[in-house]
Amino acid sequence: MPVVSKIATRYEEDIRVAMTGTWLIGLRLAIAASVFWPVGMLWLSGCLDGLSERATRRDGAGRESANIYHRAKYFHFFGLPMAIVAYCVLPFAISPAWIFGPLAATSGWFSWFQFKYYKKYL
C-alpha cells in the first residue's frame, strides 16, 4: 500500500472537512464577485456626486478636511476587503443581502465623502 494511500485513509475525515471548507470559501468568493457591479455603480455615483460637491466647495471657498478624506479612503482599502473576508470565513450560513446590501450603501457613502473632501487645489 503506497504511503499516500495510508495517509489518506488515516486522515480521511480531516481531508473531507478541508475540502468542504475550501469549496465553501470558493462559493462565497463567487457570490462576492457577483455583487461587484452594484457596489461599483454605487461607488461611481458617490464618486461623481462627491466630485460635483468638491467643485461647489472650491468655488465657494469651503473648508478642506484631509482627515475626512483619509478616513473614507482607509475604509475602501481596509473595510471593504475585510467585510468580504469576514463573509467568506463565517462558520454559519448567512444571506449575502445582509452583508453586501449595507456594504454597497456604505461604499457609495464613503466614496461621496472621499471625493467631496478631496484636495481643493491640485
Structure confidence by residue, pLDDT tens digits, 6-16: 777 788 888 88
pTM (two decimals): 0.66
Q: What is the pLDDT of residue 2?
A: 63
- Give the pLDDT of residue 65: 66
The helix-helix angle for 36-59 and 12-34 (nearest 10°) equals 40
State the cell numbers at 12.
480521511
Question: Which of 25, 18, 46, 27 shows the shortest CA–CA distance to 103?
Answer: 46
Instruction: Report the residue count for the chain.
Output: 122
CB within 8 Å of 114: residues ≥ 6 apart: 47, 50, 69, 72, 73, 76
Residue 119 DSSP one-character state: -
Residue 120 is predicted with a pLDDT of 58
74: enclosing H helix or E strand: helix 66-74
- The confidence score (pLDDT) of residue 63 equals 66
pLDDT at 82: 86
pLDDT confidence of residue 13: 86
Cβ contacts of residue 70 below 8 Å, gap of 6+? none
pLDDT, tens digit only, all 122 positions of the chain: 566 677 777 888 888 888 888 898 898 889 888 888 888 888 888 888 888 887 877 777 666 666 777 777 777 778 788 888 888 888 888 888 888 888 888 888 888 888 777 775 55
The Cα 15–Cα 5 span in angstroms is 12
